[in-house]
Structure 1
Amino acid sequence: MKTYEELLSDIEDDIELMGASHIVYSMEENNIITDYDYLPSDSCNISTTLKDLQENIRQQMLYAKVSGHLAAADKTAPKLAVIFPGIGYTADKPLLYYTSRLARKHGYQIQTVSYGTLPENIKGDSVKMRQAFDLALAQTEESLRDIDWTSYGSILFISKSIGTAISSAYAAQYNLNVKNILFTPLADTFSFPLQGSIAFHGTADPWAETAAIQTLAEQKEVPLFLTKNANHSLETGDIQTDLSILKTTMDRVERFII
């Protein structure tokens, strides 16, 4: 199997010859691109442009790097996953519920943060957004104050919306080495250190502009998984499409967790 560097080198050569929009066919194993060809075959059967293929492989390289963030963790020590909900997107909603189930499946204890009462109608209001962040961070510190972080071999943060900013701020404040799953992060989330993070964003998310999130994720070397036409909950409104999105998202999440 070719390395990511070899695949990217081949793609760059092909882009020079045929153009970035030229259609090729990729081979995938467990959602990982392993090769591509110019014509479809039994093994190379996923149609894509050279430009998209190049971007997907770059994301895979970042994903592999981030997934190894805690590679040296003590495998015999307990593992802890902390859920940082959004405002209105509670821990029993699909992205957080199924991610916590996967974490539990892989041996993590689960702790859920509760923020209490936060300002309403904060969208587009920077003052209220800052108030919500400060209150939620203070409540998080109170909720987690009795945890002995040094007793855990692996720490996983699972965060949604404003929770992505809270989790990232908390990890930086307490100098924690964590893996962090960022579901639909806000632009403000990227103002914090994000080593060991992966992010999921819908291109129809009214809370975060796609081009800005892509640029910020690239600057911080955060693997960013885009879902076309999905909103702030990674949903489109079509039930079957949304179930497919959830399945694909959880496949990527599980690869990151284990």
Structure 2
Amino acid sequence: MQVKSGHVLGYKNMKVPYLIQSKAESPKGLAIFLPGIGYTMRNPLLHFSSGSFLNRGYDVLHINYLYYTEEYDAFTIDELKTALLQDVTSILNDVLTSMDYSSYYLLGKSFGTLAMSTALEFEQLQNAKTVWLTPNLKDETVMHAMMTSSQKGLCIIGDKDPFYDSEKIEQLMRNKNVEYVIPTGVNHALEVDNDIFKSMDSVKSAIQSINNF
């Protein structure tokens, strides 16, 4: 497997690392991952989803912003959102100008979903398939992006997730471009509290849904 690491200077000239992995000589496309604040590419859902794309012949781009580190401790949530949008834009500017793919996936987890609409403004991503993993449905930006998305999308959120809201899901379902998977008894990590084996099954099921999408 080929691995290319890099970084950009993002918000306030802070270093934002990224990683591009490739297994195929002629990749089918590029899968772009926008992780959460504390839910990184090392966590099960994103780690194995990334591996699934690699096995299917896609290159993967991990945008590894470091908002969980002490350098960002003084940031307010609004400033973190500002940093997220600028950092994602900077990395995509750096990567997409030097690479060209015929197919794109854009996957956001939790906080990362706040940057989905910004990423979709890039010309290369106009027709990207979108995967909304445990999106923050309390955020108006996320709600608007999902309700107006013209891209084919998949949303996975458990009914025990603090961001889950059945009324908002009902509103969002009016947009037929996005399909929904809502596992019961599943939390924000798409796991089941106090049950390791059910958690493993839940994460596996979510990855299978992404793989089939």
Residue identity matched to 2:182: L
> Residues 32-68 of structure 1: CA distance to partner in whole angstroms, max 9, x if unpaired?
xxxxxxxxxxxxxxxxxxxxxxxxxxxxxxxxxxxxx
Q: Unaligned regions of 5+ residues in structure 1, if any?
A: 1-75, 123-127
Shift of 1:241: 0.8
TM-score normalized by the length of structure 1:
0.61
SS in 2 for 1:141: helix
The reply on whether 1:226 has 2:182 as its aligned counterpart is yes
Residue identity matched to 2:48: Y
Select the structure of larger CA radius of gyration. 1
Higher mean displacement: 99-108 or 191-200:
191-200
TM-score normalized by the length of structure 2:
0.73
The 5 Å alignment of 1:1-258 reads 78-117=28-67, 128-148=76-96, 151-172=100-121, 174=123, 176-187=126-137, 188=139, 189-192=142-145, 193-194=148-149, 195-206=151-162, 208-221=163-176, 222-237=178-193, 238-256=195-213
User: Is the Cα–Cα contact under 8 Å of residues 190 and 220 in structure 1 kept in the other structure?
Assistant: no
Number of residues of Structure 1 aligned to a counterpart in Structure 2: 175
Identity of aligned residues (%): 25
**Cα RMSD after superposing both structures:** 2.4
User: Is the Cα–Cα contact under 8 Å of residues 179 and 197 in structure 1 kept in the other structure?
Assistant: yes
Shift of 1:162: 1.3
Structure 1 pair 227/80, CA: closer, same or farther in 2 (3 Å)?
same
Partner of 1:22: none
Residue identity matched to 2:95: I
Shift of 1:78: 4.6
Moved over 6 A (4+): none
SS in 2 for 1:132: helix
Q: Unaligned regions of 5+ residues in structure 2, if any?
A: 1-25
